[in-house]
Structure 1
Amino acid sequence: MNRVVLITGGSSGIGKSIGEFLHHKGFVVYGTSRNPERITNSIFPLLALDVRDTTSIKTAITEIITITGRLDVVINNAGVGITGPLEEIPTEEIKNNFETNLFGPIQVMKAALPQMRAQKSGLIINITSIAGYMGLPYRSVYSASKGALELITEALRMEVKSFGITITNVAPGDFATNIAAGRYHAPVIQGSDYEVVYKRTLQAMNEHVDSGSNPNEMAEEVYQIIQNPNPKIHYKVGVFMQKFSIVLKRILPDKVYEKMLMNHYKI
């Protein structure tokens, strides 16, 4: 039986690449978008779903189960970026980021788990970020929301293991997607004490995304995880230095690591 896969945020970027890869491998793929009617080039069905709207989550998952009778894999991919000096990011934007990057995936998992328990099987893959392993300057909120999802996964994985359900994280580095265009940027405020450094950092972050890796690398990694009967808890996908930065954080004294980051960002 072909496995049924749900990918949130499946209309572009990493989610679209994963969906197309799995579709060609014979999986029954359903993606989601807040406005699926605007997407005309998807090779797999797109359902309306906003991860900030619990009703839309339940409706989409119910529709998939009604059509297919099961739900084998959920890939929590929908997310948004956010940048800025913490002091200058509007509180409402901070809350919106956590609603999308943390509480949204939690609600998707809550909606999917009853079906997976009934099947006595299921796999949930949470797309986090290498940025979630460290507090990065001018990306504090993004690092925090993705880091929180990493820890939620660790805990929930133990809670549902006895039901035959596996949960894992995949943390990408910089990939060439449209995430920078959809990211909330706190404006560079003329005369602000943060103006010069934040403006320089923001430009560097956008350049890193533009020159990032091919999102097909993420698709291949996700496929290998699905094929693995005993996935690891954490996966990292990116260039060597991005992954190595996590190792350095473990082994270097805190202030040495902080200095290394400050030198990198020219702070």
Structure 2
Amino acid sequence: MTSDQSTAAGVPESEIAPRVRAVYGPEDLSSVPAFAGGFINFGYWEGVPLDRPLTDEDRVRSERGLYRRVLRTLPGRGSAVEVGCGLGLGSALALEEFGFGSVTGVDIHPEQLERARRANRSLLERSPERLRFVPGAASRLPFPDGEFDALFSVEAAQHFPDLAAFARESARVLRPGGRLAVTSFFLPEGGEGRAEALAERLESFADGLDVAHPLGTLVSALAEAGLAEVSAESIGAQVWPGYDHFLAGAGLPVAWPRNFLGAYRDGLLDYYVVTARRPALC
């Protein structure tokens, strides 16, 4: 396949940032010790004791907890779509624990979709009509208008190059009355000029894996796309200290991920849950 051929839903491979393509493709981020055996997210550590060394079981519990924190904001019925589903473990959790009739996981990376199908083979075999994984980009979702009652995205928006396009597509594929929930890390209000400082501290921002999106960019984009009740809640206090405490005992081969906590404490970035609703028809 050449760099100009499509990898997902008409999106040329050349439109995927090289570092994003590598990390979620041949490098397989899910295989590194900080994520192996669980989800690929920084975790929501509320309820996990931080006064002792943390285990891999604690990490997976926190990663699952982040999904639960997001999914509790959604209706828990009808159909749902996860944008940037990765290994698909969160899509499966949404299906099994939150009462959705069906869940569709979307990811732009073919390798991730194959991993998702392998990781969830048993559930796919038992409920093929209720769980599926399909290729697609956040800016070009491969669904008709009004397809879903809920849309969620967990720690993927920091990779989306165009939040306005993601917001428009989210609004388009939601049914009237449908709800959206997005969680990821963003520059806080007033931090719009701090991308360079983040890149100096955190390799993922320097090499193009993560994009320094201001929170206001997503909030404004969702409102401009026609969604209502757009709100953002900081959950950084439940993410960064626990994540850093886990990393302290993880034996990382590199030191820079420990800088996330300092960047949060210095006001360079924070972690948020952003929710919105597509207005019901009159």
Query: What's the TM-score, normalizing by structure 2?
Result: 0.42
Greater strand share, structure number: 2
Greater helix share, structure number: 1
